[in-house]
Amino acid sequence: MGEVAMRKMLMRETAKKVLLCLLVVLPLAGFMSAEAQKPGSLPSPKFTEKGTDGCLECHAGSKMTVVADSPHGNKDNPHTPYAQQGCESCHGKGSLHSSRARGGHGFPALIQFKRRGSPVAEQNGACLDCHAKDMGSLAGMDWTGSLHDNGRITCGNCHDSHTTDNKMARQTDQTRTCARCHRADVQDHPRFAGKGIAFDELKCSTCHDVHQLFSAAGRP
Ligand code: HEC
Ligand code: HEC
Ligand code: HEC
Ligand code: HEC
Ligand code: HEC
Ligand code: HEC
């Protein structure tokens, strides 16, 4: 065999090996990346390094930026979301959700508030991680096991977070919110009907702490 023919044969052999390698490895790689997309085999999410700024790269609208101007955006108070993990303090660890490496493969869900969102316990748990404990001058609440907790009511039934407007602080809006579920009691309050108490001017929260309502048979 001449030197040229020999080299040609070697090259052909090498090419065959490379091809064989690709045939074996490529489908395997494909299989492995398909595996990595199964929710069960996703790595655990972590807090992102970019925090709020990273979220705002995609969620740029004013409904998102307004949180910075709400009490939760107050970085001078060390207990607020924006002094801690930003958006992720409420919505949960976002590394997988915002990972660009997953481009085109969807966005693993974060905590979604309100109706048809995440399970009630998960929604309220995200808020209670902070609000169950005392934070500076703001006292923690004893929500778990209360009548509203047992009734599967969420914080989001009454409070909005993506706003600077605190509806619950206004008598009219507060009463309207309670009336969604307690219409009869709002129209004709069972305890003080006809006793000259000006319900039209009082907030329900003047007398009821809706965060820790316990039945007579239950807790104090
Ligand atoms: C690369 C772009 C991108 C980044 C970065 C990103 N998101 Fe999203 N996010 C999306 C898209 C797209 C959807 C809609 C997904 C869908 O409907 O399937 C979404 C949906 C959501 C939702 C509602 C639905 C759900 O799955 O929970 C929340 C809440 C959310 N993102 C919060 C965040 C937070 C918090 C961060 C920062 C940690 C963040 N996102 C970063 C693109 C992004
Ligand atoms: C990282 C901790 C943290 C998380 C998580 C958190 N909060 Fe707060 N929240 C605070 C702190 C601290 C304040 C007081 C802010 C201030 O006035 O400086 C506050 C204030 C509030 C207020 C009073 C607002 C006002 O206008 O006076 C409401 C209502 C509230 N939070 C509801 C919620 C709800 C609902 C959730 C869940 C969706 C939630 N919080 C999640 C820490 C948190
Ligand atoms: C049934 C309606 C309702 C639900 C559900 C509810 N709240 Fe409230 N919340 C109120 C009202 C009413 C106020 C009082 C507003 C006022 O008078 O200024 C209030 C006030 C607050 C305040 C301010 C307290 C203060 O001392 O300044 C925080 C914080 C708060 N709620 C957090 C939460 C969290 C967290 C959840 C869920 C675990 C929740 N709320 C569920 C109605 C509700
Ligand atoms: C205090 C907790 C809290 C913080 C901080 C927070 N969110 Fe939310 N987010 C909520 C709640 C509660 C809702 C439900 C709508 C509402 O209450 O205004 C919501 C709704 C959303 C939605 C769905 C909007 C829709 O129209 O359905 C997206 C997306 C989202 N948040 C992303 C973010 C991003 C991005 C940040 C940071 C810039 C952020 N959130 C900060 C509590 C929070
Ligand atoms: C989304 C529905 C919903 C909203 C909004 C709501 N509640 Fe309730 N509330 C319930 C449920 C469910 C219970 C559990 C007992 C029941 O079924 O009556 C309850 C129980 C109560 C009780 C105790 C009733 C008893 O029989 O001892 C009081 C008081 C109360 N709520 C006050 C309020 C006030 C004040 C507001 C407004 C700030 C409010 N609720 C808003 C659903 C709601
Ligand atoms: C002046 C104080 C006061 C105000 C204001 C007030 N309540 Fe009450 N409410 C009470 C007392 C006291 C009871 C009786 C509690 C008991 O006997 O266990 C009661 C009972 C209730 C009950 C339980 C009724 C039942 O069938 O046992 C509901 C629901 C209720 N209030 C809702 C509201 C709502 C909604 C508002 C606002 C529109 C409101 N309350 C305003 C003091 C008040």
Is the minimum distance from the CB of 91 to ligand 4 under 6 angstroms? Answer: yes
User: Which pLDDT score, from 0 to 100, does residue 106 have?
Assistant: 73
**DSSP per position, 173-194:** HHHHHHHTT-HHHHHS-TTTTT
User: Which pLDDT score, from 0 to 100, does residue 215 have?
Assistant: 83
- Give the tokens for residue 96: 């997988």
Nearest Cα residue to atom 28 of ligand 2: 159
Q: Can you say whether residue 166 is alpha, beta or left, with left for phi > 0 and alpha for psi between -120 and 50 degrees?
A: beta
> Which whole-number Å values give the CA distances from 104 to 27, 37, 41, 100, 107, in the listed order?
20, 11, 18, 9, 9
If one residue of 150, 155, 167, 204 were mutated to test the ligand 3 pocket, choosing by the most ligand atoms within 8 A of its CB, it would be 155
**What is the pTM assigned to this prediction?**
0.89
Nearest Cα residue to atom 29 of ligand 5: 208
Q: Domain ranges in the chain?
A: 3-36, 44-110, 112-220
If one residue of 141, 203, 210, 211 were mutated to test the ligand 5 pocket, choosing by the most ligand atoms within 8 A of its CB, it would be 210
Q: What pLDDT tens digit does each residue of the chain (220 aa) get? A: 556 565 665 556 655 554 444 444 444 443 344 434 455 567 889 999 999 999 999 999 999 999 999 999 999 999 999 999 999 999 999 999 988 766 667 788 899 998 889 999 999 999 999 999 999 999 999 999 999 999 999 999 999 999 999 999 999 999 999 999 999 988 888 777 678 888 788 999 999 999 999 987 766 5
